[in-house]
Amino acid sequence: MAGAAGRPATLTTSPASHPTAPADALFLPGPVLLLGAPGVGKGTQAQALVSEFGIPQISTGDLLRGNIARGTELGLKAKEIIASGMLVSDPIVNQMVEQRLQADDTHHGYILDGYPRTLDQAMFLDRTLSESDAALPVVAISIVVAYDQLLHRITGRRICPACKSIYNIYFNPPKQDGLCDLEGSQLEQRPDDTEPVFAERMKTFEEQTAPVVEHYRALGRFREVDGDQPVEAVTAAIKSALLDLRQQGRNA
């Protein structure tokens, strides 16, 4: 979400361009779920992990928005639902994720960002993974941020349509009002980043996604991370939680 002061929160997705190599070049991240309410920074943190570990980010929100942009049948179905702050139906999202997980780039792991969001999706994912030949079990990391902070993060979020840099008018504004520092393009607000839709998305989160967090907490392969810190500190906390969870798996 908000980047370090004075620059947009775009993170490179190229492993080679990251300034620090992974602590352990042989470290296999495996499947990682990034959980949390809208605006906790799942997308930003997923990109940081992509950069660190060279595994793909699979964001169901991005996949759905891609379908909307391409005008596919799925996109047409999803557009209104997303604009209202409600959830796209489980079968549609499950099928989309199942197909994506079959791609070759998922062998060393992947970061699921924004999925699962309902208990049915979590059950579907657990079943799919238990039937696969994945080397490692899924681990879940939940990012936690207080409601008021999320409200400002979401309603203040602006995105450059050209380079996808993310700004926030409260915490990380562009140098010139409404314009991308890098591209000069007019910044855009996601249609579901308005206050009424945010309230609906939070309600949806509490009712449908909070039980998913509890599901993975109960399974034990779970950590909670404080998301109300600078982006880099959250990334460090997530990496440390992930290393810890994989170490715990080796010792089990």
Binding residues for ligand AMP, rule: CB under 6 A, are 38, 60-61, 64, 81-82, 85-88, 93, 114-115, 117, 121, 192, 201
**Do 9 and 231 form a contact (C-beta atoms < 8 A)?**
yes
- Token pair 């839709």 is found at 197
By annotation, the residues acting in catalysis are 42, 117, 157, 190, 201
The identity of residue 121, as a single letter, is Q
Question: Where are the strands (E) in the chain, listed by range?
Answer: 30-35, 57-59, 109-113, 139-144, 157-159, 166-168, 222-226
User: Which is it for strands 157-159 and 166-168: parallel, antiparallel or unpaired?
Assistant: antiparallel
Least distance between ligand AMP and beta carbon 165 (Å): 16
User: Rounded to an integer, what distance in angstroms lies between the CA atom of residue 28 and that of residue 187?
Assistant: 37
The identity of residue 7, as a single letter, is R
Q: Which is nearer to ligand AMP, 60 or 172 (CB)?
A: 60
